Amino acid sequence: MMSRINNLEDYAVDYRKSVTEPEKFWAEQAERFVWRKKWDKVLEHDFHDYNVEWFKNGKLNITENCLDRHLLNRSDKIAIHWVPNDPKEPDRTFTYRELHEEVCRFANVLKRNGVQKGERVCLYMPMVPELAIAVLACARIGAIHSVVFGGFSANALADRINDADARILLTADFGPRGSKKIALKEVADEAMENTPSIRKAIVLQRTGDEVNMVEDRDLWWHDELERVDNECAPEIMDSEDPLFILYTSGSTGKPKGVVHTTGGYMVYTAYTFRNVFQYKEDDVYWCTADIGWITGHSYIVYGPLLEGATSVMFEGVPTYPDAGRFWRVVDRLRVNIFYTAPTAIRALMAQGQEYVELYKLDSLKVLGTVGEPINREAWEWYHHHIGKGHCPIVDTWWQTETGGIMISPIAGVLPTKPTYATLPLPGIQPVLLDNDGNELHGNGVEGNLCIKFPWPSMLRTTWGDHERCKNTYFSTFKGYYFTGDGCRRDEDGYYRILGRVDDVINVSGHRLGTAEVENAINMHEAVIESAVVGYPHDIKGQGIYAYVVCDADKLEITTVPEIKDEIMDVVIDKIGKIARPDKVQIVRGLPKTRSGKIMRRILRKIASGETSNFGDTSTLLDPSIVDSIKIGVVKDE
């Protein structure tokens, strides 16, 4: 069996096999792992009444594969090299042996606090090693982790805790980020006022600054660790037992809990990590994502550890203390593989060359991007100034729901093309459909990106609501998984992702539903209704533009700038800073059709600076509204 794709021919062979004999192909990949009991059947699936099972009746524990499996040959190899936000603070490193021990200890802390197999544990943490340790500790005992990104507000956190019915919350006093400190415990306290299911909060001392501790509910992480021993046998899980829930935004207002299970997710994240990045035994790999997103789950925690990699984990932000921070870390730790988001590349590019020129960057071999389409300028800058023209860029397209990378170059194997995710990985069968659901064959076509055959790490359900999962992903185009993305397949058969075709916007690689932001805006007492759209933004990729209709009486007592500020505050309060609108325009009405539907197409055009070519506007109830909106459009600062 081929352990790695080394050249174009390997790719062609693997790809063909993955399509003609998918079960055999994935069984061979799965053989590399420790299974306590082998599966009876590799795959069972139904894309109509959605159900997928991989490695059916197989028994395993994913942490045994991430940790115990490496103790023989890699026990002293560094698994995680942690770099703190403040460059004056020391780094912390964990070998595989040490990480194994820490995970077992924290798993015992969870057990001591009554956490059972299958129970949900919510994590609201800074990017510290304890976050990775706690994630793995959950998996060790079969608890389902639900990590909530530290930038979400108390309301958003409470919604996610309640939806998952989580029993334990893991958090920290504060989370340092750049020159700021996020008051995680304070936000968690506010959230816990409305989360009846939470029994205990275990609080990590990150900064040591004072926080409020509630008796009988809040426990100190370090106190708990003193009460446990180092050994914790892995809980034996079924291949299809849920491993984690991760909330993500969709077209409707309510975020959904994407559920990933154990066996297939393990096999696929390891396979893609090894092949896409071409990770070699002594490489140092760095993914700059936050574990609060899927990229961090699959390519900071699980994928790299499954492959026994040395990985850098970074607490800070790209521009602190200055825009050379990434490159200083790359030089200092001799990073070979660097994986980041287009928004970070654009932000650093805008800061100028001098921050790059100070560094050698000669350890780099492979560069990656993820999260949003990368524009040509950013791709070229990354290629020439960071990769010095010799590092392949893997532009990896995938989603929270797909669990792992789906369409991407294989570093150094598949020729790259600026702004193209290029070709599907083995096991992935993408198709482009027109709006009537017909498959578009051949090259030089553009349509809705769907996947027509299951892959091991696809989502299994949305937590507590399987109907929603079916409706969202399997009903638009019968018999296909619909991604929500538009895509072009060019003359060479290469795929280029064009962006979302639904009401999802992608702000700095963070996914938000327009309805979710509108719901928040509408909570402001002066607001009658609102419509939110994305518009092109130089750094963020997309910015958030909100059109808001206010009660005329209320507008008389509050000035427009005041109302705009208040609206932004409501959004920060309901969702978090990541959802704060970049522009708010108070309008007298929204362009609606006679049947009451908002014509978002027009609003998107106005927000992106167009003043004509609005297409057919004959169905508008009041066409004069469009002109009035055009006059008041909010310009860039």
Identity of the residue, 366 or 370, whose beta carbon is nearer to ligand WT7 in the bound complex: 370
- Identify the residue among 58, 373, 447, 543 touching ligand WT7 (CB under 6 A): 373
Q: Does residue 421 belong to the site contacting ligand WT7 (CB under 6 A)?
A: yes
Minimum CB separation of residue 446 from ligand WT7 in Å reads 14
Query: Do the Cβ atoms of 521 and 530 come closer than 8 Å?
Result: yes
Q: Quick check: 142 and 237 in contact, CB under 8 A?
A: yes
What are 47's two structure tokens?
A: 């894309």
- Per-residue DSSP letters for 228-268? --S--PPPPEETTSEEEEEEE--SSSS-EEEEEESHHHHHH
Would you count residue 485 as binding ligand WT7 (CB under 6 A)? Answer: yes
516 binding ligand WT7? (CB under 6 A): no
Using CB under 6 A, which of the segments 56-64, 86-94, 395-403, 547-555 binds ligand WT7?
Answer: 395-403
User: Is residue 514 a contact residue for ligand WT7 (CB under 6 A)?
Assistant: no
Beta bridge partners of 244: 145, 260
Tell me how far apart the alpha carbons of residues 341 and 330 are, in angstroms, rounded to a whole number: 16
Query: Site for ligand WT7 (CB under 6 A): how many residues?
Result: 23
SS (H, E, C) 307-319: CCCEEEEECCCCC
Q: Which is nearer to ligand WT7, 155 or 542 (CB)?
A: 542
Q: Which is nearer to ligand WT7, 322 or 492 (CB)?
A: 492
Please, are residues 149 and 247 in contact by the beta-carbon 8 Å criterion?
no
Out of 235, 283, 372, 582, the only residue in the binding site for ligand WT7 (CB under 6 A) is 372
Site string for ligand WT7, 601-620 (x = CB under 6 A): --------------------
- Which of residues 30, 291, 410, 497 is near ligand WT7 by CB under 6 A? 497
Q: Output the smallest distance, CB 181 to ligand WT7, in A.
A: 26
- For residue 561, with 0-12 CB atoms within 10 Å meaning exposed, 13-18 middle and 19 or more buried, which class applies? exposed
Q: Which is nearer to ligand WT7, 224 or 372 (CB)?
A: 372
Whether 338 contacts 330, CB under 8 Å: yes
Indicate whether 370 belongs to the interface with ligand WT7 (CB under 6 A). Answer: yes
378 binds ligand WT7 (CB under 6 A): no
* Nearest-approach distance from CB 400 to ligand WT7, in angstroms: 3
Using the contact rule CB under 6 A, the part of the chain among 30-38, 478-486, 547-555, 584-592 near ligand WT7 is 478-486
Least distance CB 509 / ligand WT7 (angstroms):
6
Report the nearest approach of ligand WT7 to the CB of residue 139 (Å). Answer: 20
**Tokens found for residue 41:** 């059947």
Question: Segment contacting ligand WT7 (CB under 6 A): 36-44, 81-89, 237-245, 288-296?
Answer: 288-296
Q: Which stretch binds ligand WT7 (CB under 6 A): 70-78, 481-489, 544-552, 574-582?
A: 481-489
Helix%, strand%, coil% for the chain, nearest 5? 30, 25, 40
Provide the minimum distance between the beta carbon of 272 and ligand WT7 in the complex, in angstroms, as a whole number: 11
Interatomic CA distance for residues 349 and 367, integer angstroms: 15
State yes or no: residue 484 binds ligand WT7 (CB under 6 A). Answer: yes
| Residue 396 touching ligand WT7 (CB under 6 A) | yes
Taking the C-alpha atoms of residue 338 and residue 328, their distance in angstroms, rounded to an integer, is 13
> Within 294-323, which residues bind ligand WT7 (CB under 6 A)?
294-295
Asked if 156 touches ligand WT7 (CB under 6 A), the answer is: no
Sign of the torsion formed by the C-alpha atoms of 317, 322, 324 and 328: negative
Among 14, 68, 395, 518, binds ligand WT7 (CB under 6 A): 395
Residue 246 makes contact with ligand WT7 by CB under 6 A: no
d(CA 540, CA 346): 8
Task: Report the distance separating Cα 582 and Cα 544, nearest Å.
Answer: 5
Per CB under 6 A, the segment of 29-37, 376-384, 394-402, 555-563 that binds ligand WT7 is 394-402
Alpha carbon distance 453, 430 (integer Å): 8
- Residue pair 461/480 in contact (Cβ under 8 Å)? The answer is no
CA pair distance 153, 520, nearest whole angstrom: 12
Could you tell me which residues come within 8 angstroms of residue 358 by beta carbon, excluding any fewer than 6 positions away? 324, 327, 328
Binding region for ligand WT7 (CB under 6 A):
248, 293-295, 370-373, 395-400, 421, 483-485, 497, 499-500, 506, 511
